[in-house]
Amino acid sequence: MIPFRGRVTFLQYNPGKSNKYGLKIYKLCAPNAYTWNLQVYSGKSTPLPSFSHSESVVLKICDSLLHQGLIVFADNFYTSLLRAEKLLKEQPYYCGTLRKRRKFIPSSLLNAKLKKGEVVSQQNKNGVMVYNWKDKRNVLTISTIPEHSGELVPSGKKKRTGEDIMKPEYFQAYNKAKKGVDMSDQMSSYATALRWTLKWYRKIAVELLTGTCIVNAWVLYNKYFSPGKPISITDFKETIIMSLLTGTQEENVKPGPRRSQIEGT
């Protein structure tokens, strides 16, 4: 969500976001926060045949990943059995949480009485596995990844008693991969260049150029040029600014101390 309160027909309101009013962008990100593809929401477009708007968004944004055997993770807003079956035919595997009101969920699995920690699953004829895991509440998940199972494995965290917190294997894979979108948004929000304006297209342009593009460059820099000693996103932005202002090569620019360091001296 790009914060915006001007007058535009596709302005969105989401009470669960820190910026409740704004412009929505659908993003496809790698787990390391690199944005692979995106789509700016400009109102409900004509969906693909037999698919809803949210389902069509996933199919369109993943179009470049077809027939590559990659894995797509998404939350319950985008997930449905029809979408998972469609992607499985095109060979991106799919895993995501599922809303209980989605169509074609087996009633026996949906109404299962489970104790905390129990998992039940059922596979349909098209190769989509549906899981129902009881944590604090029932969590529905679907997966088309053959390696996924409902086996409970240690999550790396422990209870107060010292016991390992056990979670299903597929759910841990989902949590690990899904953080890419959140991390991309978080890095983009640091030292943001967004300013007040009534022009919605300026907001989107500034966010994409000084937010998403900079984060992508930062991810690539830390991976290929500084793998052992990653630079912070703020220092990376300062380095770019100094290079543009002075023409100095990047490797000769040393970022200044943080504010906390200045105050402590």
Query: Each residue of 192-202: pLDDT tens digit?
Result: 888 888 899 99
Q: Enumerate residues 6+ apart whose C-beta is below 8 A from 3.
A: 19, 21, 22, 194, 203
- For residue 262, the model assigns a pLDDT of 40
- For residue 252, the model assigns a pLDDT of 42
**Integer CA distances (angstroms), 244 to 15, 167, 203, in order:** 39, 48, 22
Residue ranges in the chain whose pLDDT is less than 50: 251-256, 259-265
pLDDT, one tens digit per residue, over 79-123 is 889 888 888 888 889 999 999 888 888 888 888 889 888 999 998
- For residue 202, the model assigns a pLDDT of 92
- For residue 49, the model assigns a pLDDT of 66
**Cα(233)–Cα(217) distance, integer angstroms:** 10
**Cα(199)–Cα(41) distance, integer angstroms:** 16
- For residue 259, the model assigns a pLDDT of 46
**Integer CA distances (angstroms), 90 to 64, 79, 177, 197, in order:** 11, 16, 21, 42
User: Measured at the alpha carbon of residue 220, what is the angle toward residues 254 and 223, in degrees to the nearest 5?
Assistant: 85
**Cα(128)–Cα(146) distance, integer angstroms:** 10
- For residue 50, the model assigns a pLDDT of 66
pTM of the complete model beyond 0.75: yes
- For residue 261, the model assigns a pLDDT of 42
Which two tokens mark 124?
A: 């349909």
How far is residue 75 CA from its own chain's centroid? 8
**Cα(37)–Cα(63) distance, integer angstroms:** 10
Q: Are 198 and 21 in contact (CB under 8 A)?
A: no
138-143/93-98 β-pairing: antiparallel
Our CA dihedral for 168, 35, 192, 229, rounded to 10 degrees, sits at 80
